[in-house]
Chains A and B, each alone.
Chain A
Amino acid sequence: MQHGKYRFIVGFLAVPLGLYTLFVVWPFIQSIYYSFTDWTGLSPEFEMVGLANYERMLDDDIFWKSLQHSLLFALLLPVVTIGLALFFSFMINVGGRRRRGGPAITGVRGSSVYKIVYFFPQVLSIAIVALLFAFAYNPDSGAINSLLRGIGLGELQPLWLGDPDLALWCVMAVLVWSTTGFFVVLFSAGMASIPAELYEAALLDGANRVTTFFRVTLPLLWDTVQSGWVYMGILALGAESFAVVQIMTTGPGGPDYSTTVMVLYVYQKAFRDGQAAYATTIGVALLVVTLAFSAVVLRLGRRERLEY
C-alpha cells in the first residue's frame, strides 16, 4: 500500500483541511489576537492595547449580566431538559405494565407515537420556533394569554417577554420545549440496547420502577447522558441561545438587558456597535466558559465504565 501513499494523502486532505483552516481555525486564532487590540472592524488600522479590553470587560455591567444569564442557561437548561427527557424515555421504554403473554419489559401504550411527536421540534429551525413563540407570548393576542382567558384565568395576563422578571424564563422554556424531544429519542435508543435480563433480574429481586431507574437504567445509560449534557450545554451557550434571544426579545436582549446572553453581546458589539476588538474579548470569555463547562461535566461525571 506504499505506492503513491503520501501523494494520495496530501491530495485528499489538502482541500478539506485548507477550507477548514481558512474559515474556522484561522479566524479563531485571529480573534484571540484581536482581543488585545483596539480594532473597530470598520477600518483596517488598529494598535495593540494590551489588556485594556479585558479591564473594560471587568467593569462592564452588561457583560456581567450576560455572563450570569449564559451561566444560568448552561447550568439549568441541561438539568431540566435531561431530567424531563430521562423521565419520559424511561416511561416510554420501561414504564409500561406487563401485558398478559407479553415481554416483561415494555413501554407504555402508544410509545412509538410519543417518540414521533416529541421529536417534532428538533427538525424545525430554532429561528422558526423562536418566531412562533414570540407570537404565542404576545400579551394581547398571543396563544398563551388567550388560552388563560379561555379557561377562566382572565385576570392572570402576564406580559411574558415584556416583563424583565419573566422574559429570561420565557426564553428558557422555549429551549426546553425544543430540545427535550431530541434527548427522549436519544435516551430511548440507549435504553433499547440495555439487555432485558438485567431488568428481569431487578424485578425478581423486588425492585420497583424508581429503584430500577436509579440502579439499572441510569448507570448503564451514563455515557449517553454525559455526552448529551455537554452537547446541551454547548448549545445553550452558543447558537441556540443566540437565535432565541435575538429573535424573541425586544432590543434584542430584553427589557433592561434582562435576557442578554454572551453570544448575543459578542454579535452586537461587533456588528452593531463597531467594536470588533471588544467583541472578540467577550468571545474569548465565552470560549473560556464553554471549555470550563465541558471540562467540569466530564470531570464530575467520570465513573467506571460499565460493560454489558
Chain B
Amino acid sequence: MKTTQSPAPVPAGEPGAAAGRAAAPSGPPAREKKEGTVLNVFSHGILVIWAIMVALPLVWAVMTSFKDDRSIFSSPWSLPETLHFDNWSRAWTQANMSDYFLNTILVVGGSLIGTLVLGSMAAYVLARFEFPGNRFVYYLFVGGMSFPIMLALVPLFYVVNNMGLLNTIHGLILVYIAYSLPFTVFFLTAFFRTLPTSVAEAAFVDGASHTRTFFQIMLPMAKPGLISVGIFNFLGQWNQYMLPTVLNTDPDKRVLTQGLVQLAVSQGYKGDWSGLFAGLVMAMLPVLGAYIVFQRQVVQGLTAGALK
C-alpha cells in the first residue's frame, strides 16, 4: 500500500482483500498507515509460510538420509545423532544408484545433443525457407505439444519392440528426441525468425552453401536460444518418468527416476529406509545444486516458452 487517499472498492475473492477490510479504522492518515502494516505483515507471513512449506520436505529428506533406520521411525523430526554416511555408500553401491546415474547420463547426453541438432535443423528450415507444406510441417510438430503422450505410448511400445529397440539405451534416446522435438521446434523457429537475415545472405553471396551457412553462421548466432531450450530439455529428459516406465523395463537399463521408484519398492521389503532416502537425496542434490549455480539461465530456459 503506497498512497491510498480515497477508500477504493475492495473486490472480494482475493486473500489480500480480507486483510484490507479487516484493517479499516477511522481517519485517512491513520488508516493508510495501519492498513499498510497489517497487509504487509499478512502477505509477508504467507510468503514465509509457503517458503517453509517448500523447503521443509527437502530438509526433512536430507536429515533422514543421515539417520539409522530405527530413529527414522521413532523420531522423524529429530536431528540425526550421528551422521550415517554409510547410508549413502550403501545406496551408491548395493542399491545400484551408480548404474542408474550412468544410464541417465548416457540417455540424457545422447538425446540432448540429438534434440538440439535435429530440432535446430528443422526449425531453421521452417523459419527461413518458403516451400509448399511449410506450415503443415510446422503445425504437425507444434501440435505434438498438446496431445496426451500416453495415447501414443500404447502402439509405440510395439513399434519400438518390432524395431528391436526396446530396453536399449539408443532406443530410448531416439524416443526422447522425438518427444522433445515439438517444443524445441516451436521455440527455435520463433528464435530463428528474430535473427537478422543479412548475415546469412552475405555468407551466401560469398559462396557458402546453405549447410555451411547454417553450421558456421546461424548456429553460433542462435546460441542464447539453444542454451534456453537446452536447459529446458535437459531438465525434462533428466526428470522423465513416463517414457522410461513404459519403454524401458529391463532392470539393468533403468534410469534414475525409475530406479528410485523400484528402490522404494524393494527397500520397503528389506526395511532399508535410510538407504532409500540417501538415494533420493543423491538424486535431488545435483539438480538443485546446478539450479542454484545457474539460476538465471534455468529460470529463463524454463519460462521462455510460455512467455513467447
Contacts and interface: CB of A to CB of B under 8 A. Distances in A.
A242 B242 contact: yes
Contacts of A296: none
A211 B44 contact: no
B283 A125 contact: yes
B164 interface: no
A118 B125 contact: no
A209 to B, nearest CB: 6
A73 B276 CA distance: 30
Contact of A208 (B10, B118, B149): B10
Interface residues on A, range: 35 or more
Residue from B141, B152, B261, B287 with most neighbouring chain A CB atoms (10 Å): B152
A185 interface: yes
A20 B181 contact: yes
B204 interface: yes
Given A97-B2, A114-B51, A208-B10, A271 B118 contact: no
Contact of A231 (B121, B149, B264, B306): B306
Main secondary structure of the interface of A (DSSP, over half): helix
Interface in B87-122: 118-119, 121-122
Contact of A128 (B76, B158, B246, B257): B257
Interface in B4-63: 4-6, 8-11, 14-17, 20, 35-36, 39-40, 43-44, 46-47, 50-51, 53-58, 60-61
Which label, helix, strand, loop or mixed, suits the secondary structure of the B interface? Answer: helix
A306 interface: no
B226 to A, nearest CB: 15
B210 A287 contact: no
B55 A117 contact: yes
A176 B171 CA distance: 33
B82 interface: no
A266 interface: yes
Contact of B40 (A24, A108, A210, A214): A108
Interface string A130-162: 011111100011110011001000000000000
Interface string B274-303: 000100100110011011100100110011
A146 B72 CA distance: 11
A242 B1 contact: no
B197 to A, nearest CB: 10
A125 B239 contact: yes
Given A87-B16, A209-B1, A266-B150, A122 B60 contact: no
B148 interface: yes
A119 interface: yes
A92 B290 CA distance: 24
Interface stretch (A3-11, A49-57, A58-66): A3-11
Contact of B155 (A13, A27, A209): A27
A231 B242 CA distance: 17
A19 B204 CA distance: 29
A127 B77 contact: no
A4 B141 contact: no
Contacts of B72: 141
Interface string A219-247: 00000100110110010011100110011
B177 to A, nearest CB: 6
B284 A242 contact: no
A91 interface: yes
B211 A8 contact: yes
A203 B57 contact: no
Given A211-B9, A224-B307, A16 B150 contact: no
Contact of A23 (B77, B154, B179, B245): B179
A181 B299 CA distance: 11
Interface residues of B, number: 111
Interface in A100-125: 104, 108-109, 113-125
Interface in A172-205: 177, 180-182, 185-186, 189-190, 203-204
A203 B210 contact: no
Most buried by A among B51, B73, B150: B150
Contact of B174 (A19, A211, A270): A19
B137 A28 contact: no
A213 B5 CA distance: 17
B155 A123 contact: no
B124 A126 contact: no
Given A16-B122, A238-B150, A271 B47 contact: no
B76 A142 contact: yes
Contacts of A208: 1, 4, 8, 10, 20, 35
Contacts of B154: 27, 31, 34, 41, 266, 270, 276, 279-280, 283
A22 interface: yes
Given A28-B147, A208-B1, A210-B14, A128 B280 contact: yes
Contacts of B240: 125
A17 B261 CA distance: 34
28 contacts: A5-B129, A8-B211, A12-B121, A12-B124, A20-B140, A23-B174, A24-B182, A25-B140, A27-B155, A30-B155, A30-B159, A34-B155, A88-B50, A104-B2, A119-B298, A120-B288, A123-B288, A123-B298, A124-B288, A131-B264, A131-B280, A210-B11, A210-B14, A234-B146, A239-B150, A266-B154, A279-B154, A283-B151
Interface of B: 1-6, 8-11, 14-17, 20, 35-36, 39-40, 43-44, 46-47, 50-51, 53-58, 60-61, 72-73, 75-77, 118-119, 121-122, 124-125, 129, 131, 137, 140-141, 144-160, 174-175, 177-179, 181-182, 185, 201, 204, 209-211, 214, 235, 238-242, 245-246, 256-258, 260-261, 264, 273, 277, 280, 283-284, 287-288, 290-292, 295, 298-299, 302-303, 306-307
